[in-house]
Amino acid sequence: MRKLMALPAAFALCTSVYAQNSGPGSSEGEGLIEIIVTAQKRAQGLQEVPASVTALGEEALASIGRQDVTALAGQVPSLQVNQYSPTITIFNLRGVSQNDFADSQEAPIAFYSDEVYVSALGAISGQTFDLERVEVLRGPQGTLFGRNATGGLIQIVSAKPTDRFEGFLTSTVGSHSQIATEGAVSGPLSDRVRGRLAFTTNHHKGYIENRIGPDLGNSKFYGIRPQLAVDVGEDGELTLKVQHLRNDHERSGGLYSHIAARPDANGLGMAVGPQEDYYGTGPGADPIGFREPDSDPFTASNDRIGSFDRKFSSVTARYTQTVGAVDLTSITDYQELRKSYGEDTDMSPDGIFNFDTHQKLKQFSQELRLAQDTDRYNWLAGAYYLSIRSDNAYAITSPLSILPRQNYGGTLKTDNWSGFGQFEYNLTDTVSAVVGGRYSSDAKKYDFAHRTDGIGDFIFNQTTNPSLARRTFHDWSGRLELNYKPTRDMLFYGGVNRGTKSGGFGTQAFTPIDPATIPFGSEKLTSYEMGAKLTLDRTTKFNTAVFHYDYKDYQAFSIVALSQFIRNNPARVTGAEFELVKQPVKGLTLQLFGTYLDTKVKDIVLPSGTVADRELPQAPELSLGWMVRYEFALGAGSLAVQTDWKYDGAQFFSTFNAPIDHEGARVVGNARIAYMFDDGTEAAIFANNILDRRYRIYNLDLSGPLGISNQAYARPRWIGASLTVRFD
């Protein structure tokens, strides 16, 4: 806290004013262009929203050269994105995340697609194509968005059907024989009907060299999204959206590398030194005697070639209607996910341990809300229903019969009802007050069974454990805020927000299992935040804020032996963020942002039984990002040169803060050069991770039961070229 107070008052949280359309087209001297966002369920300029929000528009998304959620981490303050295979995507905002990789778990950083909640972590990858914008909201969002948005949310907004005919096609070639496409065609089908068809593909060979089999980490991905918009009466519109994503038998390149590890006095993993013969099987070797022949993280020796298959489909109907002075919105959505994932968990030629998962998920949601916006006040009220059924199966096998075969899994059913509302009133011409709240009821039923070598040895359901296997969580979220806007270019805000994430059930791999350790309670986060948004002139914007999170019953994930546990612990986060965007001269855009975090989760029970306070996982004390872009006229168009860089300080991958979970600081950069013809055609070359930094994005400490630690690394340097053709 003393470090935070020592920071200049200006150094605090920036809600990313970078109305990031400062890509092609905005550097012609007009100044920074502000994006219109819907962070408060109504259209507002980004600088008008009294909250910590970052928005990237269509041009900014194109200028980073990658249509992928992982690219956001280099553009958004306080955000980290770990996607160690398409099977799971984990967001971290201001140190808030959930590292449980069980398929049935939901995250505290919610993911929304066109205002629709996507519960499955395995359904996120691949949705970021043909977008109008991406919005990142930091801090609790329980009042308006509700579902598990304890630490914030990511919302992608699809490009909509248009009144005139238009379209584009982007083709990309890159490292490892990558061939990717993205495109859309849109236009009127009649006087009152509009349509849009978008698609994407991404194929490339494996970038992880496997010494004893096919290379890992390849891609065979397809996505399609048709939409239809129909005018209804004078003031109504019905939009239908269908989306389908598919991954075909990809050779999983997530957790693929391992090192020999041993537990310390507290049962926490630490690497076996290259000359250390801890297991008596050779210097630097694991208990079986295997040691990676080199230190290259992009080589492996997997005897079993894992795979990833996924089919995700969704159908969304959105209806809006103006009734007098009130706007009515109805959003109905259905989602279905089928996913299979397998890996060589010992990541060696030893045949010790394989892990497989299968998930079938169905989700239905309905939101209905009313809203009114006047010069003096605005209000919103609504109701929400969500139903999720997730059938999950897991298998642990050992070809050498070192471990008994484990089959476990079950069905989790969730039914959620909630009512919400928010009221904002202008007390004076410069001062406004906001009050909001949501009441939520979550009913969950869990049927779980476990077998060892084909013999059932544990059952957890409403018959065997009636008080534990069915639980209802009644939670409330709230917002109380005061805003001061002395001029049109200055906004100051401060308030208290409360967010919640409902409790649930953990998944454990090995018996004996204590039924009391399976359920866990709801977590509650109370946020205190003050911030400012300043538009100093048409070429300079600066946003800042400070915040403090007080956690009650933080859901702390840990692995002991080979079983996963979620326990409720007190925790807190104190921090500051800032962002500065400036166009000092025509065509030149500069961006700088940073985040400081001081985190603690209390009373963590280590494997040895010792109780200790620890840092939150993946919460570096300091993060900094910067971007330089220069665009100038050249020939029959313009040339844009852009580079962006991100520094992340040291961090841990688990709440145990084990030595082997420690990842050092890193600096990662990207570069792109694009030529834009006057007719809209664009040719570009790019290099992501241009310095080829080798850094881990996840680590799984299995030093106690297996004497190893499994690792996943971010992709190596990736170079390529793209061509975009636009037509109308």
pLDDT in tens, 406-439: 999 999 999 999 999 999 999 999 999 999 999 9
Domain containing residue 517: CATH number = 2.40.170.20
287 is written with which tokens? 């208990």
Is residue 63 classed as helix, strand or coil in its secondary structure? helix
Q: Which residue has the higher pLDDT, 93 or 66?
A: 93
**Which one, of 693, 540, 697, 613, lies nearest residue 89 by Cα?**
697
The candidate with the shortest Cα–Cα distance to 506, out of 558, 551, 454, is 558
Vertex 598: Cα angle to 654 and 13 (nearest 5): 115
pLDDT-derived band at 303, boundaries 50, 70, 90: confident
User: In the predicted model, is pLDDT for residue 481 greater than 90?
Assistant: yes
pLDDT of residue 30: 58
Q: What is the 3-state secondary structure (H, E, C) of 693-728?
A: CCCEEEEEEECCCCCEEEEEECCCCEEEEEEEEEEC
Q: Report, as an integer, the average pLDDT of 132-155.
A: 89
Tokens (6 digits) for 8 = 């200049």
Of 183-187, 313-317, 482-486, 553-557, minimum mean pLDDT range:
553-557
User: How far apart are the C-alpha atoms of 696 and 296, rounded to whole Å?
Assistant: 12
Per-residue model confidence (pLDDT) at position 76? 92
Report residue 403 as tokens: 């471990």
Write phi, then psi, for 342 (nearest 5 degrees).
-140, 145
Per-residue pLDDT at 306:
82
Give the burial class of 275: count Cβ atoms within 10 A of its Cβ; 0-12 exposed, 13-18 middle, 19 or more buried. Answer: exposed
- The two tokens of residue 217 are 């980490």
Helix (H, G, I), strand (E, B) or coil at 27: coil
Compute CA distances 533 → 430, 530, 573, whole Å: 14, 11, 22
CB atoms inside a 10 Å sphere around CB 487: 9
pLDDT band at 142 (very low <50, low <70, confident <90, very high): confident
Its domain, for residue 675, covers 2-727
Give the residue-averaged pLDDT of 617-644: 96
pLDDT by residue (tens digit) across 563-618?
A: 778 899 999 999 999 999 999 999 999 999 999 999 999 999 999 899 999 999 99
The pLDDT score that the predictor gives to residue 66 is 61
Does the pLDDT value for residue 7 go beyond 70?
A: no
By CB atoms closer than 10 A (0-12, 13-18, 19+), residue 225 is buried
The answer to whether 157 and 251 are in contact (CB under 8 A) is: no
**With helix as H, strand as E and coil as C, how does 14-26 read?**
CCCCCCECCCCCC
For residue 5, the model assigns a pLDDT of 39
Question: In a 10 Å sphere around its CB, with 0-12 CB exposed, 13-18 middle and 19+ buried, how is residue 415 labelled?
Answer: middle
Phi, psi angles (nearest 5°) of residue 660: -75, -15
Is a pLDDT exceeding 80 seen at residue 165? yes
Measured CA to CA, the distance from residue 556 to residue 485 in angstroms comes to: 39
In angstroms, the CA 596 to CA 77 distance is 10
The DSSP secondary-structure symbol of 213 reads S
User: Do you find a cis peptide bond into 77, omega within 30 degrees of 0?
Assistant: no
Strand order of the β-sheet with 131-138 is 52-57, 131-138, 152-158, 109-113, 116-117
> pLDDT: is 470 or 34 the higher one?
470
| Cα distance between residue 394 and residue 22, in whole Å | 46
pLDDT at 14: 37
d(CA 310, CA 428): 54
Task: Please state the rounded mean pLDDT for residues 105-111.
Answer: 91
Who has greater pLDDT, 88 or 109? Answer: 109
Q: What is the mean pLDDT of residues 526-532?
A: 97
Supply the pLDDT for residue 254: 63
The per-residue pLDDT for 65 is: 63
Range among 158-167, 466-475, 549-558 rated most confident: 158-167
* CA distances, 718 to each of 18, 228, 539 (Å): 26, 36, 33
Q: Which one is predicted more confidently, 81 or 19?
A: 81
**pLDDT over 70 (residue 11):** no
Among 87-101, 435-449, 547-561, the least confident range:
87-101
Number of residues that make up the chain: 728
For range 344-373, the mean pLDDT = 91
Question: Which of 10-24, 45-59, 417-431 has the largest mean confidence?
Answer: 417-431
**How do 209-210 and 299-300 pair as beta strands?**
parallel
Residue 71 to residue 272: CA distance in whole angstroms? 34
Percent of the chain with pLDDT over 70: 95
* In the predicted structure, residue 2 carries a pLDDT above the cut 80: no
Cα–Cα distance for residue pair 197/257, rounded to 1 Å = 40
SS3 515: helix
Q: What is the identity of the amino acid at 451?
A: R
Mean pLDDT along residues 620-626: 97
Q: Report the DSSP beta bridge partners of residue 629.
A: 589, 642
- Please give the mean pLDDT across all residues of the chain: 90
Contact 223, 211 (CB under 8 A): no
pLDDT for the residue 24: 36
Amino acid at the residue 274: P
Helix (H) or strand (E) holding 617: none
The pLDDT-based confidence of 346 (bands split at 50, 70, 90) is confident
CA 92, CA 83: separation in Å to the nearest integer? Answer: 11
The count of domains in the chain is 1
